[in-house]
Amino acid sequence: MKNVFNICINGIIFGIEEDAFKPLSDYLEPLKAYFSREKDGSEIVADIEARIAELFTERPGGAATAITIADVNAIISTLGTPAAIAGVDESANTEAQPCAPRRTARRLFRNPAERYISGVCGGIATWFGMSPAILRIALIVATFFIHWLPILYLVLWAVIPLAKTTAQKLEMYGKEVNITNIEQSVKDNSLDTGSPVQTFFRDVDSALGRFCRILLRIVVLVIGLKLIVAGLMLLVAFIVWTCLQDVLFRDVVKWDFLAYEEMLRHIISASSYQIFMICSVVFILLTVAACLFWGAQLIRPFKTGNRMTHILLAALWAGSAMGIVGISLREMRHFTNPNSMSETFTVPVTDTLHLQTVSANMKLSNNAVTGLYFDKSQQRFFGEPTLNICHSRNGQALLEIRRRALGRSKPDAFDKLAGIGYQVAINDTLLQLPDLFSVSPPDRWSFQEVHLFLYLPENTIVAMDEGVMAHMHSNAHSRTGQQEYLWRVTDKGPRKIK
């Protein structure tokens, strides 16, 4: 009883006995390797294979009986040995120099038989005729001193081709590409096992290999661990964001907290908001799952479910990411055009000007980062104006109220500007400034801003209460219990009076 392989020659399937397979493959491989150098070489090989298939079919018993080693030998004697077939081409060469084994110049290839990473070192070592181990050690040591060597390595990796065909491998070793060499190398497999190195270097090689593998293993473990930690942290953040933020922050944060997703609802349209939140949740959860999965997989590989599920989940992840980006881009169009508007009021020139806050006196939610206020019961937005005190050069006292807003277009932005509600009252030397401005529509935020510029002549003293101080566009905030703060306007801007 013998094992039988199935092989396909010229489109016909034959059964071939186990021990006949290698002789047949040893017969065809050199021919393929030899003719692969020629323009129509593959077609010549195809012709020969077609003939082999024909002869196998014509055997007594035809294609149905398994090919034996005798059949293969019969084929070889009918068609001729590779040397005989190629001999037609090579007769001229061999006659000119019948016995001298010609050595052609070596060509530089990456050596697939001598590779740890890409065969660059193996290839260069083969080219120089030295041991790859020495070159590798030299490279690793040199990397400590010359830091760009790894980049050079990558460039060489890209530039030097890999020796794929038998002919290229022979050229790599500087052997002449003729049918005898090809046949020889196919038979003893010498091109695929690498050049024989001395035992010392072989030991160094394998020790180095072990070291590299251990190093690689450690790197992989660290990456896996980091992925798992990242996944867990993301998961905790997600849980806090979705379920626990009210519970956790109610006591910690003094003001009522306006969360981002709540804010988002008032910035983008309602339908977009729903899809955006779903995409975000899916994206974050899948990212968490992917981090944990790959982290665990790197630390300790395990068997995974079917491929289809993976592809589906990856597609879902990519889809949710695209959803987030898509909605962001779509919604961003509403805020592409800024517009601004200025109003100027005359302020009486006086020695001392009093600034007073008019407080809206509402319980408001605040977003600490954007300085945005929200009245949850009325569903209204409020913004904080800023105050700048400037030196007036022409001796006049002026209050400029500058409003800014973003919109789909300039006119749209202008509508938003008109919707800003902010009124100042000037009563002789008392300026009453509301601490917040309202927007319209009240539950939509379009990044409205109000900036107050107070131009005063030199040496005017400004007295302001604590509320106004908080809005000063200055970092000189101090809350030391004083009721009023006195500032003097100088040519370099306002200065605090001690």
Contact 56, 63 (CB under 8 A): yes
Place of tokens 């995409």: 279
Q: Which stretch binds other proteins (CB under 8 A): 9-17, 305-313, 314-322, 469-477?
A: 9-17
CB of 101 to other proteins, least distance (A): 21
Q: Which is nearer to other proteins, 84 or 207 (CB)?
A: 84
For residue 35, state whether it binds other proteins (rule: CB under 8 A): yes
For residue 86, state whether it binds other proteins (rule: CB under 8 A): yes
Q: Which stretch binds other proteins (CB under 8 A): 43-51, 135-143, 255-263, 268-276?
A: 43-51
Question: What are phi and psi for residue 6, nearest 5 degrees?
Answer: -100, 130
Q: Helices in 59-198 by DSSP H: which ranges?
A: 69-79, 82-96, 120-128, 132-143, 149-159, 166-172, 179-188, 190-193
CB of 102 to other proteins, least distance (A): 21
CA distance 239 to 258: 17
For residue 40, state whether it binds other proteins (rule: CB under 8 A): yes
Q: Which is nearer to other proteins, 62 or 395 (CB)?
A: 62
Question: What are phi and psi for residue 302, nearest 5 degrees?
Answer: -135, 165
CB of 59 to other proteins, least distance (A): 14
Does residue 441 have a cis bond before it (omega within 30 degrees)? yes
Q: Which residue type is seen at 415?
A: D
User: Of residues 13, 22, 37, 78, which one binds other proteins by CB under 8 A?
Assistant: 78
Q: Which is nearer to other proteins, 95 or 351 (CB)?
A: 95
For residue 297, state whether it binds other proteins (rule: CB under 8 A): no
Strand 380-383 relative to strand 372-375: parallel, antiparallel, unpaired?
antiparallel
For residue 84, state whether it binds other proteins (rule: CB under 8 A): yes
For residue 147, state whether it binds other proteins (rule: CB under 8 A): no
Tally the residues of the chain.
Answer: 498
For residue 19, state whether it binds other proteins (rule: CB under 8 A): no
User: Of residues 66, 69, 85, 130, which one binds other proteins by CB under 8 A?
Assistant: 85
Q: Which stretch binds other proteins (CB under 8 A): 8-16, 17-25, 250-258, 338-346?
A: 8-16
CA distance 435 to 356: 9
Q: Which stretch binds other proteins (CB under 8 A): 7-15, 126-134, 312-320, 371-379?
A: 7-15
Strand 425-427 relative to strand 484-490: parallel, antiparallel, unpaired?
unpaired
Copy the structure tokens of residue 494. 């306002």
Q: Which residue type is seen at 88?
A: V
Q: Which is nearer to other proteins, 88 or 99 (CB)?
A: 88
Q: Which is nearer to other proteins, 77 or 377 (CB)?
A: 77
Q: At what angle do helices 18-35 and 179-188 cross, to 10 degrees?
A: 140
Q: Which is nearer to other proteins, 31 or 472 (CB)?
A: 31
Copy the structure tokens of residue 125. 């070592």
The Cβ-side half-sphere exposure at 184, using a 13 Å CA radius, reads: 9
CA distance 218 to 299: 10
User: Of residues 7, 44, 235, 259, which one binds other proteins by CB under 8 A?
Assistant: 44
Contact 354, 429 (CB under 8 A): yes
Q: Which stretch binds other proteins (CB under 8 A): 77-85, 106-114, 144-152, 405-413?
A: 77-85
User: Of residues 47, 188, 262, 343, which one binds other proteins by CB under 8 A?
Assistant: 47
Stretch 325-344 residues interacting with other proteins (CB under 8 A) = none
For residue 421, state whether it binds other proteins (rule: CB under 8 A): no
Q: Which is nearer to other proteins, 9 or 347 (CB)?
A: 9
CB of 189 to other proteins, least distance (A): 24
CB of 79 to other proteins, least distance (A): 4
User: Of residues 87, 174, 326, 419, which one binds other proteins by CB under 8 A?
Assistant: 87
For residue 139, state whether it binds other proteins (rule: CB under 8 A): no
User: Of residues 1, 3, 39, 100, which one binds other proteins by CB under 8 A?
Assistant: 39
Distance of CA 197 to the CA centre of its chain: 42
Distance of CA 360 to the CA centre of its chain: 48
Q: Which stretch binds other proteins (CB under 8 A): 86-94, 177-185, 210-218, 362-370?
A: 86-94
Q: Which stretch binds other proteins (CB under 8 A): 87-95, 110-118, 323-331, 464-472?
A: 87-95
For residue 8, state whether it binds other proteins (rule: CB under 8 A): no
Strand 352-358 relative to strand 430-434: parallel, antiparallel, unpaired?
parallel
Nearest Cα residue to 284 out of 245, 240, 334, 332: 240
User: Of residues 18, 19, 54, 343, which one binds other proteins by CB under 8 A?
Assistant: 54
- Name the strands in the sheet holding 352-358, side by side, starting at the edge strand that comes first in the sequence: 425-427, 430-434, 352-358, 461-465, 484-490, 493-496
User: Of residues 43, 192, 262, 458, which one binds other proteins by CB under 8 A?
Assistant: 43
CB of 57 to other proteins, least distance (A): 6
Q: How many chain residues bind other proteins (CB under 8 A)?
A: 28
Long-range contacts of 294-301 (CB under 8 A, 24+ apart): 294/224, 294/227, 295/224, 295/225, 295/226, 295/227, 295/228, 295/229, 295/230, 295/231, 296/224, 296/228, 297/224, 298/220, 298/221, 298/223, 298/224, 298/227, 299/221, 299/224, 299/225, 299/228
Q: Which is nearer to other proteins, 86 or 327 (CB)?
A: 86
Q: Using CB under 8 A as the criterion, which residues of the chain lie in contact with other proteins when the complex forms?
A: 10-12, 35, 39-40, 43-44, 47-48, 50-51, 53-54, 57, 77-82, 84-89, 91
